[in-house]
Every structure is written in C-alpha cells, then in structure tokens.
Amino acid sequence: MTWDVLSIIGTIAFAISGAIVAMEEEYDILGVYILGIVTAFGGGAIRNLLIGVPVSALWEQGVLFQVALFAMTIVFLFPNRLLQHWEKWGNFTDAIGLSAFAIQGALYAVNMNHPISAVIVAAVLTGSGGGIVRDILAGRKPLVLRAEIYAFWAIIAGFLIGFKLVNEPFELYILFGLIVLLRVLSYTYKWRLPNRSFKPSTKNESISG
C-alpha cells in the first residue's frame, strides 16, 4: 500500500520533471511525453535490470503509465502565466521523485532479501536513474553528479530501510517528507559534500596596465 502510494507520487513527480526539462529545451509535445515517460520509468528499469527482475515487468504498470500521461498533459496545457519559476519546479518535482523512488527501490530490494549493499544501490539507482537518463537525453550534466548533495539522501534512505530502522507506513511517509526537505534545503542553500579538485590552479594574475 505504502509502496503503491510512493510509486504513484514518484511517477507523477518524475514525469512532470521530465516534461519541464523538455519544455525548457523547447522540445515538441511528443518530446515532452517521451522525456517524461523515460524519466518516470527509467530509474525502475535500471533497478530491475541490476536487481535481476525482468525489465518487462514494467508493462504491468499500465495504471502508472496512464497517470504519467495525464500529469504531463496537464503540465503541457498549464497556463503560461502561472509558471514563472520553472527551475524551482523542475528541481522540486525531481526532489519528490528522488525521495519517493529511493524509498520504493529500497523496499523492493528488501522484499527480495538482498544484502544491505544491494538495498543501498537499489535506493540510489531507482531514485536517481530516471533523472540521469533524462539529463543525458537532454544533453545536460546529470543532476546527481552536480554540486549539491543529492545521492547521499538516497543512500540514507537505503541504509535506514535496509537495516529495518524504518518499517511502518507512517515512518516511511515521514522519511519521504524528510528526504524531500533535505534535498530542497541542499539545492536552496547549496549544501555540498567535500570535494577535491585537481584542475590546474589557473591563477590569472595578469596585470594589464
């Protein structure tokens, strides 16, 4: 039940995020649908592949498919003047999708009695896989590899669910809300994990004058 709810939320959120990216790139209506569908189902397809479930199991999700098409149609028809802060909405729907699918992917792997490492990978891939495919098809650098904290929240979800620290439906919903919140805070306040750059330190100390 919780699983189904998270699937629906994640599918709608990712379908909309894909549609938004497609509209930002000025794709036509079919490009909008294709990128939305790929974003909504790409993460699950990659997860199925890696976890050993036939990818064709996706076809049993006919309802989700229709829900995604419906959501994208609404976005496509949405009055222009209501949509002023697209970047924000793109990031926000992506955050909802990330959270819903990371938890859903982790539950999926736990149900199949996979070890904790597989649960974490399932959380990361289901949560970020659709977005990766979306960004590559749109010629962008994948969000998951950009500056602000992203995959880390999926890892946290996989960890908590893999060790059965979060179990009950209401706990899962709280976790869902928390992960969305943490991701939104990450890109709003530009939270970053430590990085080490090895680019040559090009100090342009040229003095002109």
- Which residues is 148 bridged to in the sheet? 192
**Binding-site member from 111, 168, 170, 198 for its own copies (CB under 8 A):** 198
Residues 6+ apart with CB under 8 A from 181: none
**Count of CB atoms within 10 A of residue 209's CB?**
3
Reduced to 3 states (helix: H, G, I; strand: E, B; else coil), residue 206 is coil
**Binding-site member from 111, 113, 197, 204 for its own copies (CB under 8 A):** 197
**140-to-3, 12, 32, 52, 136 alpha-carbon distances in Å:** 31, 22, 16, 29, 6
138 binds its own copies (CB under 8 A): yes
165 binds its own copies (CB under 8 A): no
**Binding-site member from 6, 15, 64, 151 for its own copies (CB under 8 A):** 151
d(CA 11, CA 130): 10
**Binding-site member from 137, 166, 172, 175 for its own copies (CB under 8 A):** 137
Q: Which residues sit at the interface with its own copies, rule CB under 8 A? A: 20, 22-32, 34-35, 45, 49-52, 54-56, 58-59, 62, 65, 76, 80, 83, 86, 114-115, 117-118, 124, 132, 136-139, 141-142, 144-145, 147, 149-152, 155, 192-199
